[in-house]
Amino acid sequence: MYLYVYEGYQGGREGRQRTEELVRRAAERYIYEERLNLGTVSGRILRTERGKPYFQEVPIEFSVSHTGSLWVCLMDTGTVGVDVQEIRGCRREKIAERYYTADEREYVQSRGESGFFQIWARKEAYAKYTGDGFTERLRSFSTLKDTSVEFIDFDVCAGIKGSCCMKEKRELWIRQIV
């Protein structure tokens, strides 16, 4: 499983087009690094009814996230989800009370702001993994206790928390793309 990182991302109007270019670049590199015999990634990136992106003709799963100028894309042959969150000021107690389970709120109390954003990245990664988005089910889903999925937490750079969600834990390789 590979996490491709791009620094200097700018969203806005061109954000979706730029994301598709970066996803294709990451996919080409993934195919090369995994020595997969899949050819090139040339087709459009499609989306499910709920917005989960996928390749029509290439059997690679991917998930994308960005925060500030950091963009990441997780690639694997199995279903995956990824999220990155820049640590910033917010009403974390109020958000945690609304969206976190009791054990997650306890985790945030013991770890503070960093713990809050780690759980938030896990929740978002899980939502992308399932393809359901951020639904009511996430309020009762514990990213600390549920064993139906695995998480790998990572820090790409200072002040940013990240998490990957997958069915079974795998080794995570982080690569820069330019």
- pLDDT, tens digit, for every residue of 108-117? 999 999 999 9
Instruction: Give this prediction's pTM.
Output: 0.90
Q: Give, in degrees to the nearest 5, the angle at Cα 78 between 74 and 83.
A: 30
Tokens of 3: 């996490």
Domain locations in the chain as residue ranges: 2-176
Question: Do the beta carbons of residue 136 and residue 118 sit within 8 Å?
Answer: no
Q: Which CATH superfamily is domain 2-176 in?
A: 4'-phosphopantetheinyl transferase domain (3.90.470.20)
Q: Is the CB of residue 126 less than 8 Å from the CB of residue 143?
A: yes
Give the pLDDT of residue 5: 96
The pLDDT-based confidence of 168 (bands split at 50, 70, 90) is: very high
- pLDDT tens digits, one per residue of 118-152: 999 999 999 999 988 777 778 889 999 999 999 99
Strands 2-7 and 70-76: antiparallel
Burial state string for 32-64 with b = 16 or more CB within 10 A and e = fewer than 16: eeeeeeeeebeeebeeeeeebbebeebebbbbb
